[in-house]
Amino acid sequence: MNFEDIKAVQNLLSKPQKIVVVPHKNPDGDAIGSTLALCFYLQSIQQEATVIVPNDFPKFLKWMPGNEQILNFEKHNTQSKEKLQEATLLFTLDFNHLGRTGQMEELLKNLQVPFIMIDHHQNPEDYAHVTYSDVAMSSTCEMVYNFIEYLGGKDEITPEIANCLYTGIMTDTGSFKYPSTTSRTHKIVADLIEKGANNTRIHNLVFDTNTPSRLHILGCALKNMVILEEYGTAYITLSQEELDRYDFKKGDTEGVVNYGLTLDGIRFAVIFIENKEEGIIKISFRSEGDFSVNEFARMYFEGGGHKNAAGGKSNLPMKETITRFIDCLDENKEALLKVAKQVESGDNF
Ligand code: 5GP
Ligand code: MN
C-alpha cells in the first residue's frame, strides 16, 4: 500500500463509520479468515463492523471466532440488505471483481459509499476508492496483517485475530507449500503464533474433519479421474447424480482437484462439478510451473483467479463441456508441453 492509500484509509477511519466487510461467493478459509480478522480489528478501534457473506460456507470453517456474528446474504436477506443500505464504508476482501459476490453484485454496484479492496487475485477491477491489490501475496489474510501493520495496529492483534489470519494463510498456501509462501509469510505466521494462534488445533479443525460423504466423494472423484498424458493433464468429473448418491455437503469437494498434480508428469489438474440447481458446471483449475490457469479460465470458462489456482464455469452439459475442454487443451498443447520440459530439466527450480 502506498503512502496516499494509507492516508486515505486513515482519513476514512478517523470518524465513526458503519462498515460492512464482504468476501466472495462460496467463501473459503482465506475469505472467512480475512473478513473476520478485519472485522475484529475494526471493532477494536471502535468502529461498527459486520461481515456479510454472499452464501453459506463449509462446516470445517464454522468453529472460527466471530462465526456467530456473520450474516449470510441468502439466509438473512432482509437483515443483510438493511445493513448494506445503512453502511457508510465497504471493504471487499479476497476477490477481484464484484461479479464474484453472486446475488450481492447488483446491490453493491448501486451503493454510493467508498469501497476499500484488499485482494491478491490477478486483474483487479477498478471500483474501489482504495485498492490494495498484490498478486504476489500468499493470501488476503497476509494482506490484512500488513494492512493492520500499516495502520499501526500490530499490538491490537488479539488471539481471535491471530487464529483467523493463521487459518487463511494456512489454507491459501496449501499449508505453507505453494510458491507464494515467502520468508515474510513464515515471519508473519510466527508472529501470529506468538500472538495466540493455535496452529496445531487449527490444522486439526480444518483438515481432520472428514465425514463419510467427503471420503465417499473423494473415492468417486479419484475413480473418475482421466489422465491425458499427451497434455500433461488430469481431470475429474463429478455429476449431480454422484454428488446426491454420496450425500454431498458444502465443502466436500474442497482440495480434491489437487490430487491430479501429485501424479508424475501432470502439471495441469482440473475438476468439473455439476450443479443442477444453478444449471452450471463449476470448474477448478490447478497448475504447476508457468502454465497460467488464470488466463486459461478467463479465456475459455468465464473465470479467473491466480496463475496456479483458478476457477470458472460452463453452461454446457458435462459431456459437451469435456469435449470443449479437450479442444482448449489442444489449442494450448505447446504451452503445456513447454511447462513439461521446464519441470523435467529443472529450469523452474
Ligand atoms: P477454487 O477452485 O478453489 O474454487 O478457486 C481457486 C481460485 O480461483 C480462488 O482464488 C478463487 O477465488 C478463484 N475463483 C474460483 N472461481 C472463480 C470464478 O468463477 N471467477 C474468478 N474470477 N475467480 C474464481
Ligand atoms: Mn485468497
- Tens digits of pLDDT across the chain (349 residues): 999 999 999 999 999 999 999 999 999 999 999 999 999 999 999 999 999 999 999 999 999 999 999 999 999 999 999 999 999 999 999 999 999 999 999 999 999 999 999 999 999 999 999 999 999 999 999 999 999 999 999 999 999 999 999 999 999 999 999 999 999 999 999 999 999 999 999 999 999 989 999 999 999 999 999 999 999 999 999 999 999 999 999 999 999 999 999 999 999 999 999 999 999 999 999 999 999 999 999 999 999 999 999 999 999 999 999 999 999 999 999 999 888 666 666 555 5
Query: What cell does 161 get?
Result: 485475530
Nearest-atom index, ligand 1, CA of 294: 8
- Residues 87 and 298: their CA atoms lie apart, in Å, by 32
Q: 270 Cβ partners below 8 Å, 6+ apart? A: 233, 234, 235, 236, 257, 260, 283, 284, 285, 286, 325
- Stated as kind and residue range, the H or E segment containing 340 is helix 333-345
3-state class (DSSP) for residue 275: strand
In eight-state DSSP terms, residue 71 is: E
Nearest-atom index, ligand 1, CA of 312: 19
- Residues 315 and 197: their CA atoms lie apart, in Å, by 42
Ligand 1 and 58: CB distance under 6 A: no
Ligand 1 and 89: CB distance under 6 A: no
Residue 139: nearest ligand to its CA?
A: 2
What's the pLDDT score for residue 338? 85
- Residues 23 and 16: their CA atoms lie apart, in Å, by 22
- The number of CA neighbours under 13 Å toward the Cβ of 53 is 26
Ligand 1 and 168: CB distance under 6 A: no
With the most atoms of ligand 1 within 8 angstroms of its CB, the residue from 284, 292, 298 to mutate is 284
- Which residue in this structure is represented by grid cell 461481515? 51
Gyration radius (Cα) of the chain, Å = 20
Ligand 1 centroid, distance to 316 Cα (angstroms): 19
Ligand 1 and 303: CB distance under 6 A: yes
Ligand 1 and 24: CB distance under 6 A: yes
Q: Which residue's CA is the nearest one to ligand 1's atom 22? A: 304
C-alpha distance from residue 161 to each of 22, 64, 277, 282 (Å)? 17, 10, 36, 32
Ligand 2 centroid, distance to 200 Cα (angstroms): 21
Ligand 1 centroid, distance to 288 Cα (angstroms): 16
With the most atoms of ligand 1 within 8 angstroms of its CB, the residue from 121, 137, 172, 275 to mutate is 121
Describe the chain by its helix, strand, coil percentages, rounded to 5.
50, 15, 35
The answer to whether the pTM exceeds 0.75 is yes
What's the pLDDT score for residue 349? 54
Nearest-atom index, ligand 1, CA of 271: 2
Q: How many CB atoms lie within 10 A of CB 151?
A: 16
In eight-state DSSP terms, residue 19 is: E
